[in-house]
Amino acid sequence: MRFKNVEDALAFYKRYANCVGFSVRKSSTTKNKLGKIWKVFICSKQGHREPRKSPPQSAITLANAISRARENVEERRVKRRRGETREGCNARMVVSSMNDGQFELWTKLAAKKPIFELDTIVSTSSAQVGQQNRIISDAWSRLYKCMDLTGRDVDKLQYVINAAESIQQKLEEAVGGGSMSNASTDLQTYFGCTVPNIVEIQPPLVSVRKGRAKRMKTGVEKAVEQQMHARMCHYCKQVTSHDSRNCPEKRN
């Protein structure tokens, strides 16, 4: 959706807000080095109002106490309280400027691009890799732009499908009917190494932790053992902290 200027965009958003049931106002304006402008329109109840801070107890004088007492008496009377004007509403609309001076509705998918860019050749120089990345990003951007222009029009979508099928057929003929990349080659390219034919698995390092053959005692168990008094074990006939029920020699 395009607008001639910012005022037209604000008028459109006000009409929409009036139908839904809220009011809007202008917010921040951002401009980059290339001159592109982003204008944000938000709900009038966006944000939160800070509560009033009461003065310290030492700063309250006798005159202030008297005036506060009078205010309390007046507040007891029936008054119409004003509604809260800041409730943290997140409704907003963002428009961005175009090359012809008009503004278009900005969305999250406006600059949608792939997250990872994998190079088919790792041994190339940094300049060549950067050029390949730019070409890949440009190709994806053009594809997303075409899908954005089609929208939900069935005829336009069918035209895009037919064009994609013809391009796919030409590429398959050039490649030889197969795909140039797969998951294995993409992972090798991403990590910069090849998968070896023989994988040597090293034994794990021995670690002392909870759950091992010899369980580590917790702090609670150690504290309980320290508080236990020595007593005679009737099984091993020794003065220790255990008895005949949990004697270690009895277990053996």
Strand extents, DSSP E, the chain: 2-3, 24-31, 37-43, 92-97, 103-105, 231-232, 239-240
Q: Give Cα 149 to chain centroid, integer Å.
A: 28
Quote the pTM value. 0.35
Q: What is the DSSP letter of 58?
A: G
Q: Mind listing the pLDDT tens digit of every residue in the chain (252 residues)?
A: 788 888 999 999 998 888 888 888 888 899 888 888 889 998 888 877 766 666 555 555 666 666 776 766 555 555 555 555 677 788 889 998 888 888 888 776 555 555 444 444 444 445 566 677 788 888 888 888 888 888 888 899 999 999 999 998 888 888 765 556 677 777 777 787 888 888 888 888 777 666 666 677 888 888 887 887 788 888 888 888 788 888 888 766
Closest CA to 118 of 107, 102, 129: 129
- For the chain, the domains span 1-46+85-106, 126-191
d(CA 4, CA 12): 11
d(CA 182, CA 70): 80
